[in-house]
Structure 1
Amino acid sequence: MEERITKQQLMKMYNVNRTTIEEWRRRFGLPMIEISSHKKYIRKTDLLEWENQMKQNHSLV
């Protein structure tokens, strides 16, 4: 199974809060997978691809 990163792990990795993660989802297309309103995660490969796109666009905060 592919490695998954939880929303809480993302917050720690980037030292940001939930609001920032949600903004990245809405404004920058962060591809989070929502299992329920309390369980969200992202595949590690999707995160790396998203990061690369943001770096190319100079939009990553």
Structure 2
Amino acid sequence: MENNDRITKQDLEKMYGVNRTTIEVWRKRYGLPLIEISSHSKYIRKDDLIKWEDGMKDKF
């Protein structure tokens, strides 16, 4: 897998215009599949983000 297939938590914040607390709420409440390398390093695979987004469409 190439690095460009990974989106950092900070990139998600910029993409959606939200803060880190919102990303954590999405992770805990809505199952956003972040991969945690350490407490300061989290990312999501692009394909997993697309699947998660598609699944969220059904909830709203």
Q: Structure 2 length as normaliser, TM-score?
A: 0.94
Partner of 1:31 in structure 2?
33
User: Percent same amino acid among aligned pairs?
Assistant: 71
Amino acid at match of 2:58: Q
Q: CA deviation at 1:22?
A: 0.1
Deviations 1:3-25 (A, max 9, x none): 00000000000000000000000
Aligned length: 58
Does 2:55 match 1:53?
A: yes
Unaligned runs of 5+ in 1: none
The list of structure 1 runs, each at least 4 consecutive aligned residues, that deviate by more than 6 angstroms after superposition, is none
2:15 to 10, 13, 16: 13
CA RMSD of aligned residues (A): 0.7
Unaligned runs of 5+ in 2: none
Q: Structure 1 length as normaliser, TM-score?
A: 0.92
Cα distance in 2, alignment partners of residues 32 and 16 from structure 1: 16
Amino acid at match of 2:22: T
Cα distance in 1, alignment partners of residues 47 and 58 from structure 2: 17
